Chains A and B, each alone.
Chain A
Amino acid sequence: GQQLNQSPQSMFIQEGEDVSMNCTSSSIFNTWLWYKQDPGEGPVLLIALYKAGELTSNGRLTAQFGITRKDSFLNISASIPSDVGIYFCAGQLLLSTGNQFYFGTGTSLTVIP
């Protein structure tokens, strides 16, 4: 099936630093989604992007839908310890039989106080 290339696989940063992660695909997606998963919980939606070129912020988080519709990035500014977790990107394809979602392999973020 479809595979999204998400990088980096893991990050270790100092509290206060900015973080950047991205996803690329060989397919064109209609929607890009970014999720965060805490240990023992399900992925929680952070940001949804619906238009090529769209730049959306949610607090310290900023994400962009690439112009080619084949990529997206997520930035976290001034990281804090509670940002620790696994971040997933997902792309949505429009289908006549409903909509299909494809997930990246995740970026594990560790914030060192």
Chain B
Amino acid sequence: DAGVIQSPRHEVTEMGQEVTLRCKPISGHNSLFWYRQTMMRGLELLIYFNNNVPIDDSGMPEDRFSAKMPNASFSTLKIQPSEPRDSAVYFCASSLGVAGETDTQYFGPGTRLTVL
């Protein structure tokens, strides 16, 4: 079975440019999560969706970050304009996400973003 798919795996861009990260969750999973990982701050939850609806976006750093989930099989995380401090590894994860039931989360391979 295909796991969580992310693209691109690596992205190098210049400050001020728009960056779009993409994620395809595991088929049948109802919840999708975006995380950011840095040495300083560890693994941070940015936003999560349930049934394509954003449930908690309190972790989104600022207005430069936006996330969408237009359908059950695709999500994007956009940074516009990007800044050097956005450099990190961004992970997408998905889970069955049936409310009130025990659940397990599966991660994608991540996108390593470098903003020069």
Instruction: Give the B-binding residues of A (Cβ under 8 A).
Output: 1, 30-31, 33, 35, 40-45, 48, 50, 88, 90, 92, 94-101, 103, 105-106
Residue from A1, A31, A42, A44 in contact with B102 in the complex, judged by beta carbons closer than 8 Å: A31
Residues 36-52 of chain B: 1 if any A CB is under 8 Å from the residue's CB, otherwise 0?
00000011010010110
Among B56, B103, B109, B112, residue most surrounded by chain A Cβ atoms (within 10 Å): B103
Q: Is the CB of B99 within 8 A of A94?
A: yes
**Interface positions of B from 94 to 110, Cβ below 8 Å from A:** 95, 97-110
Instruction: Give the A-binding residues of B (Cβ under 8 A).
Output: 4, 30-31, 33, 42-43, 45, 48, 50-51, 55-56, 58-59, 91, 93, 95, 97-110, 112
Q: Is the CB of A94 within 8 A of B102?
A: yes
20 contacts between A and B (CB under 8 A): A1-B58, A31-B103, A33-B105, A42-B91, A42-B107, A42-B108, A42-B109, A42-B110, A43-B91, A45-B104, A45-B105, A94-B101, A97-B50, A98-B30, A98-B31, A99-B31, A99-B99, A100-B48, A103-B42, A106-B42
Chain A residues, Cβ within 8 Å of B51: 98
Tell me the complex Cα distance, A33–B31, Å.
17
Tell me the complex Cα distance, A25–B102, Å.
18
Q: Is the CB of B55 within 8 A of A98?
A: yes
Q: Is the CB of A98 within 8 A of B99?
A: yes
Residue on B with the closest CB to A93? B103
Chain B residues, Cβ within 8 Å of A96: 99-100
Chain B residues, Cβ within 8 Å of A1: 45, 58-59
**A95-B99 contact given A42-B107, A45-B104, CB 8 Å threshold:** yes
Tell me the complex Cα distance, A90–B107, Å.
13
Tell me the complex Cα distance, A42–B105, Å.
12
Q: Is the CB of A99 within 8 A of B107?
A: no
